[in-house]
Structure 1
Amino acid sequence: MQKDQLLIRRRAVLAGAAALGAAGVASALAPGTGERAAPASAPAAGAPAARRPLKPSEYRLRPLTGYDAPPSTPGRTPVRREPLLRLSGRGRTMVLTFDDGPDPRYTPDILDTLARYETRAMFFVCGEMAAENPDLLARMADEGHVVGNHTWSHPLLTALGRRRIRTEMERTSDVIEKAHGSRPEWFRAPYGAWNRAAFRLGAELGMEPLAWTVDTLDWTTPGTRTIVGRVADGAAPGVVVLSHDAGGERSQSVRALRRYLPALLDSGYHVTVPRRQYV
């Protein structure tokens, strides 16, 4: 599949997938809290924060859901009925996520901006893109970013059988492990369209399902200013922001990150990555 075909396919299936995705993500539980998250259609709004000096960079780099060492032997992964929408943590924490890559035209610029501000993010990669660009996954590992599974070819999972879904997931996890150094612990369904098989197979492969709270809709190329405004309007503690680093023309996404990331940090947000909480 050509790199830009994801955008064409996304437009073709968006209408049908939106309802499925909304139903699947509307009331997920925040990990370890038992607290019901806000619906994706109504991102949590936070009061405007007073501008203040940035915290030390090492604090920004702390993981979101806990500061102790990870367990030496991970426990089981629960089979969920809905994906996680937001993540719990201390203080004004947020998570930035980028889907569909890596793409050598845009991902390096995003990594450069994150490095400039000593910030880590999550990349939900497609296996076929990752297989073509293993050096970018290796760089993500070196710079402390979390890499998640976004299937091999970005299909609509609700239209596939269980065997095909497993193949899409397993092939991608294998490529991630080879290039990034570890198997992914997070999974995101293409188009936000989840079904029972996706939740169960993801859990069998040791992955938690993560959706998002704020959708920048950057794949529609609405303009850099619009993308920045959507992030600013949706910013709140625990929010997960969805953007893209591949699947189409992503220069607006690159420019928007350069503007909203320093603004979030200046406003006192800690942009970081999650740590799994096993049961």
Structure 2
Amino acid sequence: MQKDQLFTRRRMLLAGVAALGSAGTAGAVLASDGEETVRAAAAPAPAAAPGPQARPALGPSAFRLQPLTGYGPPRTPPRKLKVRDEPILRISGSGRRMVLTFDDGPHPDYTPHILDTLARHRVRAMFFVCGECVVDNRELLARMAEEGHVVGNHTWTHPLLTTLGREEIRSEMERTSDIIEDTYGDRPQWFRAPYGAWNRATFQLGAEMGMEPMAWTVDTTDWMEPGTDTIVDQVESGAAPGVVVLSHDAGGDRSQTVRAIREWLPHLLDSGYHLTVPRRRV
């Protein structure tokens, strides 16, 4: 699919979702040719008002709902990948490059503000979403697609996969990939196991579904709600070429995360870091 056709499709998705709303750990290294710098100067930065009022608050999210049924042409089977023994936890290549990732969302109270901050600084990131959170927040995935972010699979209900049988794991992953494709426009090409708990079945099933396993290098510890200053310090002290930063946009009160990214993101950029996303496979 050509680039202009892809963006046209994404804009159609965004419009369609808006209309719908109004009606009702350690391991492998990702090589440098698997990434792309994204702080490009080709497009002007989207206008955004400062502060948490940059976008109107959305309605509360419902959890653990059944996925919506998608209608359309049959899906193209994903390209099967080599089964890894370890998740990817960093990238390699020249320059001061890092990847920003956010887990557990989307959430209407926090994800829009994180997206606003990323847009203000013209940075793209990865969002590992839970299928049950997508159901009532599809417009946020459509916005991620429109703004060039990479959406990954983080299961449907965020279970501890090492306690589930193979078919239960498959269901968690497949249902989430289905709703991502229905909403975002493409099937996810990346998977992250909840709690960073991997086993052979998760690697095998992910590879069957065309998804690479991604972990992280720097944990912001925002899931513990340690305070904004602590989160900022975790990112700034852990910043280094090739690291993958773990943050969360749901799963609890993420107001500290929202405030922290407004501090550490411009600091990283001013320090010469380039925030990258993995290159999508053709």
Same fold (TM > 0.5): yes
- TM superposition score category, shorter chain reference: 0.7 to 0.9
Amino acid at match of 1:31: L
What is the deviation of 1:57?
3.9
Map residues 22-61 of structure 1 onto 2, 5 A cutoff.
25-26=25-26, 28-32=27-31, 57-58=39-40
Per-residue CA deviations over 1:134-184 (Å, capped at 9, x if unaligned) read 000000000000000000000000000000000000000000001111000
What is the deviation of 1:131?
1.5
Per-residue CA deviations over 1:210-253 (Å, capped at 9, x if unaligned) read 00000011011100000000000110111100000000000000
Map residues 117-266 of structure 1 onto 2, 5 A cutoff.
117-266=121-270
Question: 2:132 and 2:232 mapped to 1: Cα distance?
Answer: 29
Question: 1:150 and 1:60 mapped to 2: Cα distance?
Answer: 32
Question: 1:170 and 1:212 mapped to 2: Cα distance?
Answer: 23
Q: Which moved more, 1:192-201 or 1:80-89?
A: 80-89
What is residue 84 of structure 2 aligned with on the other side?
Answer: 80
Amino acid at match of 2:191: F
Aligned length, in residue pairs: 221
Question: 1:191 and 1:215 mapped to 2: Cα distance?
Answer: 12
What is residue 100 of structure 1 aligned with on the other side?
Answer: 104
Question: 2:202 and 2:89 mapped to 1: Cα distance?
Answer: 16
What is the deviation of 1:88?
1.9
What is the deviation of 1:31?
2.6
What is the deviation of 1:276?
4.9
**Residue 101 of structure 2: SS of its match in structure 1?**
strand
Higher relative contact order (CA 8 A, sep 6+): 1
What is the deviation of 1:132?
1.5
| Contact kept? 1:60, 1:272, Cα under 8 Å | no
What is the deviation of 1:87?
1.2
| Contact kept? 1:99, 1:124, Cα under 8 Å | yes
| Contact kept? 2:31, 2:91, Cα under 8 Å | no
Structure 1 stretches of 4+ moved >4 Å = none
Per-residue CA deviations over 1:10-33 (Å, capped at 9, x if unaligned) read xxxxxxxxxxxxxxx22x121347
What is the deviation of 1:77?
1.4
Question: 1:264 and 1:89 mapped to 2: Cα distance?
Answer: 18
Question: 1:56 and 1:277 mapped to 2: Cα distance?
Answer: 16
| Contact kept? 2:79, 2:208, Cα under 8 Å | no
Question: 2:212 and 2:204 mapped to 1: Cα distance?
Answer: 10
Question: 1:112 and 1:188 mapped to 2: Cα distance?
Answer: 24
**Residue 241 of structure 1: SS of its match in structure 2?**
strand
The change in CA–CA distance for 1:117 and 1:60 in structure 2 (over 3 A counts) is: farther
Question: 2:38 and 2:181 mapped to 1: Cα distance?
Answer: 31
Question: 1:60 and 1:270 mapped to 2: Cα distance?
Answer: 15
Structure 1: gaps spanning 5 or more residues: 1-24, 34-54, 62-73
Question: 2:151 and 2:38 mapped to 1: Cα distance?
Answer: 24
The change in CA–CA distance for 1:177 and 1:277 in structure 2 (over 3 A counts) is: closer
Per-residue CA deviations over 1:33-56 (Å, capped at 9, x if unaligned) read 7xxxxxxxxxxxxxxxxxxxxx99
What is the deviation of 1:272?
1.8
